Chain A
Amino acid sequence: MAFSDYETGDPVVDEKAPGGPIAERWDTRRFQAKLVNPANRRKQSVLVVGTGLAGGAAGATLAEQGYHVVQFCYQDSPRRAHSIAAQGGINAAKNYRNDGDSVHRLFYDTVKGGDFRSRESNVHRLAQVSVEIIDQCVAQGVPFAREYGGLLDTRSFGGVQVSRTFYARGQTGQQLLLGAYQALSRQIAAGNVEMHPRTEMLDLIVVDGRARGIVARDLVSGRIATYFGDAVVLASGGYGNVFYLSTNAMNSNATAVWRAHRRGAYFANPCFTQIHPTCIPRTGDHQSKLTLMSESLRNDGRIWVPKVKGDLRPAREIPEDERDYYLERIYPAFGNLVPRDIASRAAKNVCDEGRGVGPGGQGVYLDFADAIGRMGRAKVEEKYGNLFDMYERITAENPYEVPMRIYPAVHYTMGGLWVDYDLQTTVPGLFAIGEANFSDHGANRLGASALMQGLADGYFVLPSTINDYLARHPHDDAVDAGHPQAAAVVRQTEERLARLLAVDGDRTPDSFHREIGELMWEFCGMARTESGLRKALERIPEIRAEFWRRIKVPGSGEEFNQSLEKANRIVDYLELAELMCLDALHRGESCGGHFREESQTPDGEAARRDEEFSYAAAWEYRAAGDGPKDESGGPGAPVLHKEDLVFEYVHPTQRSYA
């Protein structure tokens, strides 16, 4: 049976979302949720995987509430989670500007921005909670930008008409993460959080249908150990690194969510990936990651390519009438400020026509000559100086003199583990928060919303909803390493690592990662076609088979071994990639970050097909029915469970930016 021969199972329903007026649902749910007696909380422990905005905030908050938290991160310190790299800002419906913002408007913008593929209840809650996040972070000492009167500054971001984005220069993510890290540090010092840095989750332990623990590897000693708790929270981030080149950190990975998926958690909308239009293009095959530059550059820069293909003259020697300012030409109303997905796709199109610039023709110009002429160099420097410096450091080109070159890159994954309103996955006791879940951004995430969602989940949503689960499952049936289920998971993990070390082939982990990444970028990247996706679905099992035949991992498992870490992550990418392609293939519409060439309007824009696809696709893992028993055979065809999306407050419309 081919992987694409999936079955459609029963619809999946979010049973936790209360009905009633949308503005009251969060209060209703909080009131309905059972509470745990403070005296009983310290007997209950929660495992939290990841220490980014969501995980760090959740760990600190749960510990403050009195739970015993056991937390993990693969980095050497919880302060290094990749949330730290977010630049732009964080949205909140504070309406400090008196410019007409409100919780409802943020809710509306987010549902619309997500191209009507998110859940209204969740998004409304996110908008409500956004207000409290800013209060919390300011109280923690997060140094947001301020005005001369001492009050917080905000800016407009991502084409929104209100100024609701709070920021800390270009390092908002860093400052918010350090706030969460410090709150977590305080709980670590108090003994309420048991922190395990340099420890990577490798599998989930499910006992009697409930998530009860994890298997993790101490990355320094190589020791595989089990950890048990009354609930498990995954805050392990997104899976953009399946593309090899992305703006994710080098070690960001999908293992935690994928292993949870293999143990029964549904994976929703895996094909929804966001490609960011303003990244620094790659310079060669040695490229290991891509660097994002703030979208704000598009406010003043003009994007162009030469009119004829193969024009190799330096940018400044190409006369004005031989340049194609293609965004301004195609979208005269919005020009260079069209949404991320549209700008990205347009760049791909002109490069596919052979008009791209720079090494390999994979780039377009972002030109500030007009802006410098209009505002003067000093003004441009004041607005964008740090970004220009960063660009020059990486490319050794001075963007004041020659236009910047930019190209889109994978940036964020909207898909993730399916969760209900309580952020609980389909495995009872397993929760997913932040980028690791699928819930709030639909098919496209708006700028400055990732930080908002991570912190909303971590500080406010999960700490309220997890109580209900913990109250219903008091700590009276401890599971330990001696449990047969736990022992079995440990054995499988050890066997997997041993096998990776035993192959002793002739290809490095990176070479496979690069191969799968290039395949995904080509066929499951900015534009997807049925034939391309089918080709990818054919190719992935071949790569996987080759991987298990030719992988070479030096060293042993009982030591610090970065090659083994990499190889083990690739095992999971090789399966996840397949599901992403399948999801992209089955979703025959274009929506948000998912563009199917078969589904476009006559003028080449994304055409959503609400009658057929107004649902979240939650995939259930199926083990292969035949073939080898180990993992080299890959998974069996999954089962699709649809969650119908109902829009009572924001009515779906087709986006138009022409």
Chain B
Amino acid sequence: MALDTRTDRRPSFAGLLWGSTVGKKTAMAVSGVVMLLYLVAHLLGNLKIFFGAGEFDAYGQWLRTVGEPFLHHEWFLWIARVVLVVCVVTHGVAAYQLSRRDIAARPTGYVHKRRRASYATRTMRWGGVILALFIVWHILDLTTLTVNPRAESGHPYENLVASFDRWYVAAFYIVAMLALGLHIRHGFWSAAQTLGVGSRARDRVLKTVADVLALVLTAGFVSLPVAVLCGWVS
């Protein structure tokens, strides 16, 4: 007998998304875009370092009072932190699960290997791992101050300078920011495709935006340790 397309399954929207490779990529794209927006704000805030300790520390203080009196002290900050943690976890877990799948999907590799795809595309996974490690260290260093040599709460300017005065810390930071640039370069464009906003006509624009974002964010963040190492900020 003629049958209609199967209609027996009606899972939730989230269930549909998380249950499929395409949906998981959507979750990665959305969380990635949120983190990207955060990074833009974060960079703008950080660049205040070039205007002296007073302005930078005041900015740090302001972050704790955003939304008052509607929001309680530091609530905005905590909301942002929760959103970011959710994004990082979603992005990371989805990436891990998808990567496991991808590797399992080709149990036997080719004998004749060829360089495939662009450098940015091929480094998404390891770049992501570097970024994850970086985030952990970054929080321990400049948020909780656990590993910060100065660890003076309420004085982010001094803490930051103290941290970057160690060349190896600055170097790790710079490497992580280069990885970030590559990650954004493929990630932004890729997220656009995953969210279905890409098209032949828009491709050049999207690729250009991805390149500009990658470049600006990398250059912006890298300028901090460089400035500290060169003594322009101290």
Contact = CB atoms under 8 A, between A and B. Distances in A.
Question: Do A and B touch (CB < 8 Å)?
Answer: yes
Interface of A: 64, 66, 186, 189-190, 192
Can you list the 7 inter-chain pairs with the closest CB atoms, starting with the nearest? A190-B3, A64-B2, A66-B1, A192-B1, A186-B3, A190-B1, A190-B2
Interface string B1-37: 1110010000000000000000000000000000000
Kindly name the residue among B1, B3, B6 whose own CB sees the greatest number of chain A CB atoms within 10 A.
B1
A64 B3 CA distance: 9
A192 B1 CA distance: 7
A192 B3 CA distance: 10
Contacts of A66: 1
Contacts of B6: 189
Contacts of B3: 186, 189-190
Contacts, number: 10
Contacts of B1: 64, 66, 190, 192
10 contacts: A64-B1, A64-B2, A66-B1, A186-B3, A189-B3, A189-B6, A190-B1, A190-B2, A190-B3, A192-B1
Nearest to A64: B2
Nearest to A41: B1
Contacts of B2: 64, 190
B131 to A, nearest CB: 43
A66 B1 CA distance: 5
A190 B4 CA distance: 9
B7 to A, nearest CB: 13
Contacts of A64: 1-2
Given A64-B2, A66-B1, A189-B6, 7 more contacts: A64-B1, A186-B3, A189-B3, A190-B1, A190-B2, A190-B3, A192-B1
Nearest to A60: B2
A64 to B, nearest CB: 5
A186 B1 CA distance: 11
A66 B2 CA distance: 8
A60 to B, nearest CB: 10
A68 to B, nearest CB: 11
B76 to A, nearest CB: 52
A189 B8 CA distance: 14
Nearest to B5: A186
A190 B1 CA distance: 8
A543 to B, nearest CB: 42
Nearest to A186: B3
Interface in B110-136: none
A63 to B, nearest CB: 9
A580 to B, nearest CB: 42
Nearest to A190: B3
B53 to A, nearest CB: 67
Contacts of A192: 1
A38 B124 CA distance: 58
A189 to B, nearest CB: 8
A186 B6 CA distance: 10
A7 B2 CA distance: 49
Contacts of A186: 3
Nearest to B6: A189
Nearest to A38: B1
A362 B1 CA distance: 54
Nearest to B1: A66
A189 B1 CA distance: 12
A64 B1 CA distance: 5
Contacts of A189: 3, 6
Nearest to A192: B1
